[in-house]
Amino acid sequence: MPQQTRETIPTGLIGREQFPHRHLLAISALMPWEISFLLDEAEHWVSVNRAHSRKHDDRLGGLTQINAFFENSTRTLLSFEIAGKRLGADVVNMHAAQSSVKKGETLIDTAMTLNAMRADVIVIRHGSSGAVRLIAEKVDCPVLNAGDGWHEHPTQGLLDALTIRRRKGGISGLVVAICGDVLHSRVARSNILCLGALGAQVRVIAPPTLMPAAIDQMSVTPYTDMNAGLDGADVVMMLRLQNERMDGAFIPSPREYHMLYGLTPERLAKAKPDALVMHPGPMNRGVEISSIVADHPERSAITEQVEMGVAVRMACLDVLTRRARGVEGWA
């Protein structure tokens, strides 16, 4: 049951009015009900994925989906590839390591090339904030941001929201603590915006060296003391700490980080008894999260997040290609 809050879709919206965007570049561009719309669409795919061993739905049959990944990724790439294939699209992956990007071709030229190949939807990950938007301005088909620098990772925000909504029955009013390297995290930014739009009270917990300036302006409460930040939380979302930040540049050592900011069973006890534990993966076990917490059968939603990822990406691919496919009300 959708709650009667501001994320409820205004009555009377039909077809394209429910999601009037050509691309999915950032959660910041979405209205709360547009986020809810995508989550509702994703619910359908969760059921489909669970119901059948044959998961094909060929609504994207004949369409070409290019996954252009300028930054290494295993999980997100795989998730988008599976999502596209389950919808029947011809999915092609382009890895930066194999591409002419390394030969000095500009991003714009790469975008023009992808466009000339008549892709019907392009999924892009790039290491530089704003890069995906730059490409989107130059191509004729919908673009899905699979992560740009430290800026946003909108499908991660959506899949986390879906996971929480399913587990908790709603998002409005929940206390969500996002912990870790918030400064360099696009996952954190998309989640702050997504969960905030859906009415959650978002807290961020980070060492001062990994806390972005003026983060409170994004309607979150910052904490540098993890115990205080976890107090009474309904959801504890851990962020991955990149290896290169652990060597003294931002924090003194992995073990000190674990001591101060690692999610251990003792720390988790500060949160609500039924608090949900999340992590976008891949995890550094023993650094930001201990294995006991990560593998906890009731509390951890980490594998469920991966499952929701496929469903959310199927929903996004479906919705964004409706116009091109001439779906009634969307053309």
Partner 1 sequence: MTHSLAITNALLADPDGQAVTSGSILIEGDSIIAAGDIAIPLDAEKVDAKGMLVAPGLVDLGVFRTDKPAFKFGGITRAALMPDQSSPLDDVGLIRHATRAGKPDFWVHPLAAATRGLHGAELAEIGMMQAAGARAVSTGRHWIADSGVMLRVLSYASALGLTVIAHAEDGGLTGKAVATAGETATRLGLAAAPACAEAMAIARDIMLARETGAAIHFRLVTTAAGFALIRAAKAEGLRVTCGISPAYLFLSDIAVTDFRTFAHLAPPLRSEDDRQAAIKAVADGTVDVITSSHDPRGPEDKRLPFADASPGMAGAETLLTLSLNLVRNGHLTMNALMTLLCANPAKILGVKAGRFAPGYAADIIFIDSETPWIVDSARMEAAAGNTPFDKVPVQGRVRRIMKGGQFL
Residues in touch with partner 1 (CB under 8 A): 28, 106-108, 126, 128-131, 133-134, 148-152, 186, 189, 212-215, 217-218
Q: Decide whether 5 or 73 has the Cβ nearer to partner 1.
A: 73
Task: List all residues 6 or more positions away from 171 whose beta carbon is below 8 Å from its beta carbon.
Answer: 7, 161, 164, 165, 195, 198, 199, 200
CB of 242 to partner 1, least distance (A): 14
Minimum Å distance from CB 181 to partner 1? 12
Classify 148 as helix, strand or coil: strand
Q: Indicate the residue among 107 and 306 with the shorter CB distance to partner 1.
A: 107
Nearest-approach distance from CB 303 to partner 1, in angstroms: 28
Cβ neighbourhood burial of 304 (10 Å; 0-12, 13-18, 19+): middle
Name residue 143's beta-bridge partners.
122
- Tell me the closest approach of the beta carbon of residue 331 to partner 1, in angstroms: 28
Q: DSSP assignment of 252-296, as one string?
A: S-HHHHHHHH-B-HHHHTTS-TT-EEE--S---BTTTB-HHHHT-
Shortest distance in whole angstroms from residue 132 CB to partner 1:
9
> Which is nearer to partner 1, 73 or 129 (by Cβ)?
129
- Closest distance to partner 1 from the beta carbon of 160 (Å): 17
Order of strands, edge to edge, in the sheet holding 276-278?
A: 220-223, 201-205, 175-179, 235-238, 276-278
Task: Judge whether 151 and 187 are in contact, CB under 8 Å.
Answer: no
Q: Is 17 or 247 the residue whose CB approaches partner 1 more closely?
A: 247
Q: What is the number of H-type helices and E-type strands within the chain?
A: 11, 9
Cβ proximity of 101 and 70 under 8 Å: yes
Return the number of the residue (53 or 217) whose C-beta is nearest partner 1. Answer: 217
Residue 16 CB, shortest distance to partner 1, in Å, is: 23
Q: Which residues contact 195 (CB under 8 A, 6 or more apart)?
A: 157, 160, 161, 164, 171, 174, 176, 202
Shortest Cβ distance from residue 244 to partner 1 (Å)?
Answer: 13
CB 294 within 8 A of CB 302: yes
Question: Cα 91 to chain center, whole Å?
Answer: 20
Two tokens at 196? 């905030």
Strand 121-126 versus strand 143-148 pairing type: parallel
β-pair type (175-179, 235-238): parallel
Residue with Cβ nearer partner 1 (126 or 279) = 126
- Is 78 or 134 the residue whose CB approaches partner 1 more closely? 134
Q: Give the nearer residue to partner 1 in terms of CB position, either 45 or 69.
A: 69
